[in-house]
Amino acid sequence: MERFGVDLWLAPAFNLHRCVLCGRNFEYLSEDPLLAGRIAAGITHGVQSHPGRGVTIKHLACNNQETNRLNSNSRVSPRALRDLYLRAFEICVRQAHPAAVMTSYNLINGVHTSESAQLLEVILRQEWGFDGLVMTDWVVDGMTRSDMKHPRATAAATIKAGNELFMPGCETDRQGILSALRGQDEQVELSRSELEKQAARVVRMVWALAGS
C-alpha cells in the first residue's frame, strides 16, 4: 500500500460462500460466518497496524451471487440475516475496528443496502459501534438498464440513510443531491444537517489517515 500510495484498501471481502456460481468466491473467505469474521478481523488488524493505512470491509450485505448482482433482491428473514449474513461483519467490526465499510449492490428485502438506515445507522453504528466511513460499491449510470426491476440507488437517498461516500459519483448524482436539498425530489427530502453530518465523517477519515 505504501509503495503505491494507497491509504484505504478496498478489501477484505468476506461474504459467505452460499453459491458455487458466485464470481467473487475466489476472494471471499469462508462459508462459515465465525471463520470469515475472525480471518477478516486478523487481516484488518494486520493492515491497520501500519500508520496511515485502513481497510474497507465488504460487501455489506448478502452479496452471495453473481447473476444479476446489480439488481437482485435478497429475501432474508431477520434471524438468518443476523445469525449468518451479518455475523461475520459484526465480528470484524467489534474485534478489529475497520476504517471503512462498503455496501453491496443488491437489495435486502426490497431496500438497497446503501439506502438502508436500519442497516447502516441502527445496526452498524448504534449496535456494533462502528465509527468509520461507509461507501457504496461502484454505482454508475451505465449500469442502469430500462429493463431493470428495481430502480438504481441514488446519492441523495444513500446520504440520508447514513452512507457517506457515493462511488464513483458524477454530475447527475450532484444534481440529485441539490434537488433533494431544495425539496424538489419527490422521493427523498435531504436536510443540510444530514449532508453536513456525512461530509464531516468523510473529513474525519481523511484526517485520521493523513495524520497517522
Average pLDDT (124-133) is 97
Nearest-angstrom CA–CA distance, 110 and 113: 9
Average pLDDT (22-47) is 93
Output the CA angle 158-162-153, nearest 5 degrees: 15
Q: Is residue 140 pLDDT above 90, yes or no?
A: no
Q: Is residue 182 pLDDT above 80, yes or no?
A: yes
Selected residue with higher pLDDT from 25 and 124: 124
Q: Is residue 14 pLDDT above 90, yes or no?
A: yes
Select which of 137, 141, 147, 185 is catalytic: 137
| CB count in 10 Å sphere of residue 18 | 16
Selected residue with higher pLDDT from 205 and 70: 205
Q: Which pLDDT belongs to residue 147?
A: 59
Confirm if 171 and 140 have CB atoms less than 8 A apart.
no
Distance linking the first and last C-alpha atoms of the chain: 14
Place of cell 431544495: 182
Q: What percent of the chain has pLDDT over 70?
A: 95
179 CB-contact burial (10 Å; exposed 0-12 / middle 13-18 / buried 19+): middle
* All three cell numbers of 88: 461475520
Catalytic annotation present for 137: yes
Q: How far is CA 86 from the centre of its chain?
A: 12
Nearest-angstrom CA–CA distance, 185 and 205: 29
pTM to 2 decimal places: 0.92
Nearest-angstrom CA–CA distance, 17 and 201: 32
In which band, very low, low, confident or very high, does the pLDDT at 143 lie, cut at 50, 70 and 90? low
